[in-house]
Structure 1
Amino acid sequence: MPPAGSWWREGAIVATAFVLCLLGGVLHVDDTLAPPSAPLYAIAAVSSATLLARHRAPAVTTVATGVCGMLAAPLGLLPTPLIVAPAIISAYSLARRSEQRVTIAVLLPTAALLVAFTAFFETDFSWEDTSRLVTVAASPLVAAVSGRSAQHRRAFLAVMDERARRAEEQRDSEARRKATEERVRIARELHDLVAHQITLANAQATVAAHVVDTQPEQARTSLAELVQTTREALDELRATVGLLRQNGDTSTPSDPAPGLSRVPTLLSTFRRAGMEVSLHEDGTARPLPPAVDLTAYRIIQEALTNVTKHAATRSAEVRLAWERDNVAVTVTDDGGGSGTSPQRPPGYGLIGMRERATAVGGTLTSGARPQGGFVVSAHLPVPGVETTARGRQRDR
């Protein structure tokens, strides 16, 4: 069945094949020219009309048009490629729409029978007749090769289109994944920034409110620290928003990211807010990759912020344990006071800390301590001494 909307093309092909058959029948075996005979009209009409079935039954159409070409010799017509034009067209369609083994199984016997049948009806067989018959028999084969090439090209283009489509889908999926990761990273940074600064500001404002009448000097100190904290919060928030507005790569900000070297300054801000926090370090400190360094800093910052917000205590301990291939960051509080709850619902702070640790290849655990309080413990990978030495040697 021809494809929908292509009947005009099919009609043109059938008409062309019909005309070519008639032109091929003008030349007779005795090399004379004569108008097309009635049998020739019948052969041309039948073989050309059979082409309409080449899409639905290409093998049967090829055999039928080949048989019509064989009838030229018994009718006294000179077999030429023009007379077998319908067979050539059907051979092309057969090669395009069928498997290679089917094409060979149909075309080779048809071509052989065409040559044998024509030679049987020619009494005076010359070398010129042999070359002509070879040309007639080879014409469907050449058309089949062309059809096979067209089929391969169509399959190749289909594969390339499919690859392009999959590549486009993969690019879109990758872009969505990166956008999601970037949104999570931005949300994590903003959470750490806002939660830390607002918590400190709240603690400083609370201290000022309690001592404003009894200790005016301490209240003024707390208010001055509150002003400084809010100013730093605005500056960091402005820097973060400005970073998001950049058109280039936002993964490498212009200002250096905080790390463990800034932990003493971080702890001093909590101390000014009224928290007793101590720092203990075991082992030999080593340089950390920027991502791991930032992760360790943010975990300490968020863990202490959670102590300020949720724990009924004003003391905490930060411990850094340097091991061979990792650094353990532990933040604990004693949880003293009636407001301590042994089971705290996990908020975005704990989720963000766990995501940060996982992103750099580390682990993080958190939970209530048996003796009271809460603990956050992270193990982050650290390049070994041998790896660091090799890296320095390559740098030199």
Structure 2
Amino acid sequence: MAVSAVVIVRSVRDNGHVPDVLGWALLLVAHVVIVWRRRAPVRVMVTLMAILLVYHSLDNNHTAPMAVSMVALFTVASRTRPRNTLLIGVGVMGVMLTVKFSEGMAEGAESLRISGWIVAFLLLGVYVRIHRQYVASVVERAERAERTREEEARRRVAEERLRVARDLHDLLAHSITLVGVQTSVAAHVLAADPDRLDRAAVAK
């Protein structure tokens, strides 16, 4: 809002008269609406266009809303799909060029310069959106790789535990089988020849 006030003071002679109470109220509403631009960029942009259309129709200072308009355009380009960016950009420039050229060729030529700024802010927003998507994809790939490494480590630990358990099971089964065989042999020998029993060893 302070930026708009400074712009009005510097350009009042060339870009319309100083806003009246209604003009200042419209500028204030435009700056309040822009607060929600990150939550609903397209709706905020459409609302802002409606507010500024009324503002400019009253022949208020035409340069004052430039900053808030560019911020809204940048937000649309950086936070929405390319289709929305294209539609909003074409819509804004179409309305502006139609209104300006209807006022005369001089005004139309000035609007072409403003169109350059609109395109620049839209392209900047698109660049920021693409960069954010790239960074997000890199982070996602890194997190996925980290999860994969953790899962692989857990899988290897589980496999190692299973191998150790299998080895212990085989060793224990072999030992039990060996003990069973030896017991059977001893029982058979004792049954055949009881005198071979070492009674002194058993007593100990």
TM-score by length of 1: 0.41
Q: In the alignment, does 2:161 pair up with 1:178? A: no
Distance in structure 2 (CA, Å) of the matches to 1:181 and 1:97: 46
Offset from partner CA, 1:131-187 (integer Å, 9 cap, x none):
x53332222332222222222233333333333333333333322322222122112
Paired positions, count:
192
Q: Is 2:66 the counterpart of 1:88?
A: no
Report the CA distance shift for 1:65/1:118 in structure 2 as closer, same or farther (over 3 A).
farther
CA shift, 1:30, in A, is 4.3
SS in 2 for 1:160: helix
* 1:42 aligned onto 2:21: no
Alignment of 1:277-316 (within 5 A): none
Matched, 1:160 2:133: no
Structure 1 residues 46 and 121: CA distance shift in structure 2, 3 A:
farther
Structure 2: distance between partners of 1:70 and 1:116: 15
Structure 2 unmatched ranges of 5 or more = 199-204
Preserved contact between residue 65 and residue 84 of structure 1 (Cα < 8 Å): no
Q: Measured at CA, do residues 28 and 75 of structure 1 come closer, stay the same or move farther in structure 2, by a change above 3 Å?
A: farther
Distance 2:115 2:47 in 1: 15
Cα drift, residue 31 of structure 1: 5.3
- 1:101 Cα deviation after fit: 1.6
Q: 1:28 to 1:181 in 2, by over 3 A?
A: closer
CA, structure 1 residues 54+41, in 2 after alignment: closer, same or farther (shift >3 Å)? same
Of the three residues 81, 84, 89, the one matched with 1:99 is 81
Of Structure 1 and Structure 2, which has the larger fraction of its residues in strand? 1
* Letter in structure 1 aligned against 2:30: S
How much does 1:93 deviate? 1.8
Alignment of 1:198-277 (within 5 A): 198-208=176-186, 210-211=189-190, 213-215=194-196
Paired with 1:60 and 1:172, the residues of 2 have a C-alpha distance of 44
Counterparts of 2:8 and 2:55, CA distance in 1: 11
| RCO higher in structure (CA 8 A, sep ≥6) | 2
Secondary structure of residue in 2 paired with 1:214: helix
Correspondence 1:28 to 2:11:
yes
Paired residues for 1:293-372 under 5 Å: none
Is the contact between residue 51 and residue 86 of structure 1 (CA under 8 Å) also seen in structure 2? Answer: yes
Change (3 A) 1:169 1:28: closer
**Structure 1 unaligned regions, length at least 5:** 1-17, 220-396
- For residue 115 of structure 1, what is the aligned residue in structure 2? 97
